[in-house]
Structure 1
């Protein structure tokens, strides 16, 4: 007979405002979700609890901005005596729902400090003689976040106009144009280059029929037809000089649709760089998929995996988002993935 301490299981370890509440919620927990979110969105936690004793409606009732820190711990998951941990980071409570009967409460927390106004408050500002890192640094400071600038380039600007946009929306818009992705995670504002992450070694190979795949989905459509090249054309209004170049990525098909753009580029080198960025924005939407797995703490946004056994969909993918859940179905991991471009 298998003893409880030998059973294969996943445990949620949780602290609330600095107090360990793991034992307090263990019996009441009905559902837990941790979303390691896609770039441009916030990481989040959601905890659903039975509340027959009405503790969470009364003395334990959450308050906006309460701090939650979590960890998923797997015990005997991949072998006897093995304990592994997935730290989830720090979050602040931003919503609370109560339903019944029977009485249940749902607590949601996000990775951005609730007191920060960079997501809601719209502002207008002229930024002069700045770099992308300087803009990100000022916005991070305003939100009481650390800045992790991992992008390979740090573009500079004579002038940027923020017109009735929240700081986060403005930064996201500016960075996306430069091919730079943004995440708010574990108290940090992170800017990184997805193309660099795509080149990193895979952390796992998911093979159809051999791994614990509970569900999968892959799709393509003409709306996401991959472009074979990007043509950049720009005429300077003062000098009347025209720059026109075509960027073709390595391994591109010899024929296919060409993405044509007309944006400022003062040299051929700048135009080629711009063409690569715009082509990546479009082409990365052409190879999407989803995987539902038995819980796997290795999976995190920004890591790469190999897909094998699905025919034309086989290849190397980057994890766009990873949702780890503990509930009635045990411990599961749902992934949104995107085929890497390789350039």
Structure 2
């Protein structure tokens, strides 16, 4: 009896437009997966259910699903459900035999005007003001990190791009994450120690003995790009000039910026991105952890010393549950 009690058992909840469907869906569940990304990609939920009796009702396009999952009981896991947000159904597939229904939904925060293209420009505005404007246009709250809010942008053009694409590009210029979570437009440095609201970034320690699979990769530095340079138009001399970061093999950015400050920010951002990409790691937890999300801080133990001593940031997460009481979490990480 004690062995049964100690065996970890996952739990989950799915609500459709506010109605709890968990009890009805549980006997049909083949798999539930959630892919989370730290940047501009929408989080994606996928439910696969069997339809052996033909009684499964297909949800309408645009229906809103709210999902939570975690562990109901067991040793060595954190108990309780973690709310993973709401998702809008955008694709339904029926196939067979055996008859199955697959429901795909995207984060509700990425729907609507946020994905529509538009044309406008921003001159001499702070990042905080730009983020606030975009948030207001999309009915969102704005949360720009204190380290970036007062930074003045000489010029930023939104030429036939959606607000999502525009903020992605702006984030790349300032080495920042631009994303929407729980109705809030967030703009924060990639390696910030705090969230845009000022709270400490969650941190987790992953031990090798709890891993299903580990894959570490370090790129060779010899001959690789280890710096960046960017051009800007100097108004006083009416000529293009270049700013560079330290490095032997610098990557030249294609865009010509409106000021030295804009160009330097872009070059520094690209150098930081290249440095992070030099070390990457995949880590799959045999017993999943719903608390781990994109941009979580991670340390690793039980691996090679150079892996253990490095700090890591999660770039993407895939949580997977199945009808056989399995729950795993697969992480993609980069060194910081």
- When the two structures are superposed, what TM-score results if normalisation uses the length of structure 2? 0.83
Distance (Å, rounded) in 2 between the aligned partners of 1:242 and 1:114: 38
Distance (Å, rounded) in 2 between the aligned partners of 1:189 and 1:225: 39
Instruction: Name the CA shift for 1:239/1:56 in 2 (closer, same or farther; >3 Å).
Output: same
Instruction: Name the CA shift for 1:265/1:159 in 2 (closer, same or farther; >3 Å).
Output: closer
For structure 2, list consecutive stretches of 5 or more residues without a partner in the other structure. Answer: none
Which of 217, 220, 234 lines up with 1:219 in the alignment? 217
Q: Compare 106-115 and 225-234 and name the one that shifted more.
A: 225-234
Distance (Å, rounded) in 2 between the aligned partners of 1:49 and 1:223: 47
Contact 1:151 1:180 (C-alpha < 8 Å) held by counterparts: no
SS in structure 2 at match of 1:117: helix
Contact 2:71 2:81 (C-alpha < 8 Å) held by counterparts: yes
Which of 67, 84, 88 lines up with 1:70 in the alignment? 67
**Which residue in the other structure is 2:275 paired with?**
283
Distance (Å, rounded) in 2 between the aligned partners of 1:113 and 1:264: 31
Instruction: Name the CA shift for 1:126/1:276 in 2 (closer, same or farther; >3 Å).
Output: closer
**Which residue in the other structure is 2:132 paired with?**
137
Quick check: 1:313 aligned with 2:311? Answer: no
Quick check: 1:184 aligned with 2:180? Answer: yes
What are the superposed Cα offsets for residues 201-227 of structure 1, whole Å, 9 maximum, x if unpaired? 77333233xx21111212234599765
Q: CA deviation at 1:124?
A: 2.1
Contact 1:234 1:265 (C-alpha < 8 Å) held by counterparts: yes
Number of residue equivalences: 326
Matching of residues 1-343 of structure 1 within 5 Å = 1=1, 7-57=7-57, 61-78=58-75, 83-113=79-109, 116-119=112-115, 121-128=116-123, 130-150=125-145, 152-154=147-149, 155-157=151-153, 159-197=155-193, 203-208=203-208, 211-221=209-219, 227-230=225-228, 236-239=234-237, 247-248=245-246, 256-259=248-251, 263-264=256-257, 266=259, 273-294=265-286, 295-308=288-301, 309-314=303-308, 315-327=310-322, 328=324, 330-340=326-336
SS in structure 2 at match of 1:280: helix
Instruction: Name the CA shift for 1:7/1:260 in 2 (closer, same or farther; >3 Å).
Output: closer
Distance (Å, rounded) in 1 between the aligned partners of 2:222 and 2:194: 20
Contact 1:111 1:187 (C-alpha < 8 Å) held by counterparts: no
Instruction: Name the CA shift for 1:318/1:225 in 2 (closer, same or farther; >3 Å).
Output: farther
Contact 2:6 2:74 (C-alpha < 8 Å) held by counterparts: no
Instruction: Name the CA shift for 1:114/1:256 in 2 (closer, same or farther; >3 Å).
Output: closer
Superposed CA RMSD: 3.3
Distance (Å, rounded) in 2 between the aligned partners of 1:115 and 1:261: 31
What are the superposed Cα offsets for residues 286-316 of structure 1, whole Å, 9 maximum, x if unpaired? 1111111121233221111112313443321
SS in structure 1 at match of 2:148: coil
Instruction: Name the CA shift for 1:15/1:233 in 2 (closer, same or farther; >3 Å).
Output: closer
What are the superposed Cα offsets for residues 97-152 of structure 1, whole Å, 9 maximum, x if unpaired? 11111221111111135750322x32222345543333333333343333222252
Distance (Å, rounded) in 2 between the aligned partners of 1:205 and 1:98: 40
Instruction: Name the CA shift for 1:146/1:265 in 2 (closer, same or farther; >3 Å).
Output: closer
Contact 2:204 2:296 (C-alpha < 8 Å) held by counterparts: no
Q: Compare 271-280 and 99-108 and name the one that shifted more.
A: 271-280
Distance (Å, rounded) in 1 between the aligned partners of 2:321 and 2:249: 44
Greater helix percent: which structure? 2
